[in-house]
Amino acid sequence: MEALGHFLVDASRFSVNDLTLCNWAKIKDITEQWLTEENIDLDKSQEALSDLFPFMDIWIEAKENELQYVNHILPTLEWNGGLIGVRLRYEPKKFDVFFEDFISSRQNSLDIHDRISERIDKENYTIALWPKDIYEYLSRKLNSLFTIKCYSLDPSKLELSDNGIAKPQRIDSKQTLLDGIPLKDLIRIDEINAQRGFGSPSAADKENSKLNTQLRDYYSKHLNPIESPELSDIEALQAIRDAQDTFDERLKNCFSQAIKEVEGLNYPGVTDPKLKISTKIEPIDGLNHDSAVQYELTNALSNVSLDYLRLPESYNGLGYQNLISIAFRLMGFRDSWMKVGKATNKKLADDNQEDFPAPLHLVLIEEPEAHLHAQVQQIFIRKAYDILRNHNNLGDKEELHTQLIISTHSSHIAHECKFSSLRYFRRIPACKEHEIPVSTVINLSNVFGVNDDTEKFVIRYLKATHCDLFFADAVILVEGPAERILVPHLIRRHYPFLNQSYITLLEIGGSHAHRLKNLIVSLNLLTLIITDLDPKDSQDGKVKPSKKGSGFVTSNTTLASWVPEVTGVDELYKLTEDKKEKKYNEFFYVYSAFQIPVLAEFKGVNQEFLPNTFEDSLVYNNLDFFSNLTGNGLVKKFKASITNCKNAEEFGEESFSHLSKGNKAEFALDILYHDESDKLNTPNYISNGLKWLEEKIKIKQLELVSDLASDGETK
């Protein structure tokens, strides 16, 4: 959003902070060479620096019958419709002027430094002379020396991004430079920033955020009858004139005695003008007060409005104010684009558009969820685009296009959008020295392919669960309701670091976790899958209690086809921890945690238990806890088995029978309700998985901090 605003709205927004931090070392090396070397090749320096300055590629798809809109940016005369590319690059207006001015300024600083050093003891000399380097120089002169230049791109050389990583075309100093601002009449851009002033202590912010202020602006631009009056305005103008005359007459009568007293002073004289009080009524003044906008309550039965059931806008919640405010802003953007009402008068127009509207209206809204609760967020995202198209010349017509771009951290807004409309920004830290950390843009419409049933399942499931999958640092996929209830409790109790991390937990059934594979891989989202072993007899295909050496295989598709891609139960038992993870890159791993043997003292002897599910593994890891736990259902059955069973194998068979009929969610709630639930041990396989996740998140955070630290040193 910031980049779009900088490149397409106002280039003066650029500052030295917008140049990539990792590039400053290279920029400094190149510019310092200008001071020490002779016969500098300006073309070579310009080309080297051009790669280090910010740029943005804009691709527009136009039809052949839309030639009139794009004829000034055509890549070739043979163009017959399709893609047209323009590169916007922030660079020196005149490179030779930039080159000479920097050398002059820097050399002057060095000369003065040397001259002063001759007179003053160097140990006491602490004056910093400007500019000490290119960063300091551009901090002061960037906007005066730099501008946005536009270059034509070759559609035949366009390469699609690879896993979200862009492959921009290489262009040199001889590339076709387009005149002026080629996108000015092609794209109209309007913005709504995140900081809209609601609840702000600043008086200016408060005033600008008020709905009555926005109504006044809208009225002035589109409705004011005084500006460019039309036949339909005559009645309103006459009413204003009549009111003004009536008020003048009233004032004349009220002030007549006072004016006579003043005239009795013999001043003004006979030849001097006399006092007269006159009024001027402006329609806009009627909206220029705090109660211009009120919220009215009506009787639900009679639908009758009463004056005393009204409150000023400041008495309503910030969420409602924000929603109405954004709606009016969108209406104003649309009507200014379409030249509605008085906006046809160029004096009132808030832009420099030609008589015909730009064919593309780009509206940018930053974090609209501020102050909006979940339901209102959903209403907003459903209606926003409809507001922008609510005009006779828009609607479903294709001549004029509207694109609405919204940045958000709200899962409620994300879930109301089609998958094909979502773009996910994924940060990739630098893995090597001098590598640049970048954000890649993932087009989620390409994640599952065309007409994929898996996509339908994932979309429906994510909408139903409203998880924060798109905004988390990591995700834990769990098997069932018991894990969903107890795993967060175990994390809070035993893993304080994870408890403070931004992790989302999603109950999808571990055996269905593979359905999220394409999405998770596209997002590069660090993932822990907590799933069940689900052993079955390879001969008859029936699910049975696990046994070593029995040739059982897992019926869990996630274990068999994703991580660790092993089917034999005995082989799964033998896997080392590193074999349970799948590495995609330095910062993206997927780990499967499934039941492993539990060694515990039972009946006075150390025995090996082979759990099949989360519930029996939890019991085997907490035999003392469950032997003293009172309750019904599974809790009661497990307690009885601990008392009555003679060995681990018998206990395992009874546990399998209990769980095939028991209520697992009720079991988890009974445990959570217990006063000593904080003493519960984490099942060993889940403990291994959570330790793995904690380690990976710490490594990722260290890398991010390392990036920032190295960037800061470079700067």
Residue 487 tokens read as 């795993």
CA distances from 61 to 74, 81, 232, 388, 445 (A): 12, 8, 41, 21, 18
Tell me the C-alpha distance between 83 and 112, whole Å. 55
Tokens (6 digits) for 267: 């001043």
Q: Are 186 and 70 in contact (CB under 8 A)?
A: yes
Residue whose tokens read 């839309």: 66
Tokens found for residue 151: 């270059």
Question: Among 503, 493, 530, which Cα is nearest to 622's?
Answer: 493
Global pTM exceeds 0.85: no
Say what the pLDDT of residue 198 is.
47
Q: Is the pLDDT of residue 353 over 60?
A: no
**328-342, 452-466, 517-531: least confidently modelled range:** 452-466
> Beta partners for 86?
58, 152
Residue 90 and residue 53: Cα distance in Å, rounded?
6
Phi, psi of 55 (to 5 degrees): -145, 160
Q: Are 661 and 438 in contact (CB under 8 A)?
A: no
Q: How many CB atoms lie within 10 A of CB 702?
A: 11
DSSP letter at 621 equals: T
Per-residue pLDDT tens digits for 295-314: 666 655 556 665 656 666 66
Mean pLDDT check: name the lowest of 40-49, 168-177, 341-350, 569-578: 341-350
**Helix, coil or strand: residue 610:** coil
Helical segments of 12-169, H only = 24-36, 42-50, 67-70, 95-119, 134-145
The pair of three-digit structure tokens given for residue 416, joined into one six-digit string: 């109301």
Rounded Cα distance, 263 and 540, in Å: 117
Full 3-state SS string of 303-349: CCEEEEEEEEHHHCCHHHHHHHHHHHHHHHHHHHHCCCHHHHCCCCC
Q: Which of 174-178, 352-356, 553-557 has the lowest mean pLDDT?
A: 352-356
User: Residues for the chain: how many in total?
Assistant: 715
Backbone angles phi, psi at 387, to 5 degrees: -60, -45
pLDDT band per the 50, 70, 90 thresholds, residue 250: confident
DSSP label at residue 282: -
Distance separating alpha carbons of residues 482 and 584, to the nearest angstrom? 30
Return the ∠ at Cα 432 (arms to 428 and 435), rounded to 5°: 65
Q: Which residue has the higher pLDDT, 223 or 365?
A: 365
Comparing CA positions, the residue from 340, 344, 341, 342 lying closest to residue 354 is 344
**Could you tell me the CA-to-CA distances from 678 to 11, 258, 672, 675 in Å, in that order?**
57, 85, 9, 8
Phi, psi values for residue 115, rounded to 5°: -65, -40
| Residue linked to tokens 């035949």 | 156
Residue range 424-433: average pLDDT? Answer: 76
Contacts of 697 (CB under 8 A, 6+ apart): 473, 474, 497, 498, 501, 526
Q: Lowest-pLDDT range, 184-198, 387-401, 641-655?
A: 184-198
Tens-digit pLDDT profile for residues 113-127: 777 767 655 556 666
For 512-562, what is each residue's pLDDT tens digit? 788 899 899 989 999 999 999 999 998 888 989 999 999 999 999 999 999
Query: Facing residues of 526 across strands?
Result: 474
Residue 357's contacts (CB-CB under 8 Å, 6 or more residues apart) are 188, 337, 338, 339, 400
Looking at per-residue pLDDT, the higher value among 704 and 572 belongs to 572
Maximum distance among all Cα pairs of the chain, rounded to whole angstroms: 126
- Give bridge partners of residue 452 from the DSSP assignment: none
Q: What are residue 9's phi and psi, to 5 degrees?
A: -110, -55
Instruction: For residue 272, name the pLDDT band (cuts at 50, 70, 90).
Output: low
**CB burial readout 461-483, b (16+ within 10 A) else e:** bbeeeebbbbebebbbbbbbbbb
SS3 state at 90: strand
Q: Which residue has the tokens 């006072």?
A: 258
Cβ proximity of 223 and 286 under 8 Å: no
State the helix-helix crossing angle for 24-36 and 134-145, rounded to 10 degrees.
100
| 316 or 129, greater pLDDT | 129
Cα three-residue angle 249-254-260, rounded to 5 degrees:
105
The secondary structure element, H or E, covering residue 111 is helix 95-119
pLDDT of res. 300: 54
At 206 the pLDDT is 46
Which tops the pLDDT comparison, 642 or 294? 642
- Number of DSSP helices (H) and strands (E) in the chain, helices first: 24, 22
User: Which range is least confidently modeled, 452-466, 604-618, 695-709?
Assistant: 695-709
* Residue 567 confidence (pLDDT) above 50: yes
Tokens representing 643? 């008392």
Over 70: is that where the pLDDT of 202 sits?
no
Q: Quote the mean pLDDT of the chain.
A: 84
- Categorize the per-residue pLDDT at 712 as very low, low, confident or very high, splitting at 50, 70 and 90: very low
Q: List the chain domain ranges.
A: 2-183, 203-226+294-417, 234-281, 464-595+683-715, 597-679
| pLDDT for the residue numbered 298 | 61
| Of residues 308, 11, 352, 328, the one with CA closest to residue 192 | 328
Distance CA 471, CA 675 (A): 34
The answer to whether residue 437 scores a pLDDT higher than 50 is yes
Q: Is 171 helix (H, G, I), strand (E, B) or coil?
A: coil
Which one-letter amino acid corresponds to residue 635?
A: V
Indicate whether 248 pLDDT > 50.
Answer: yes
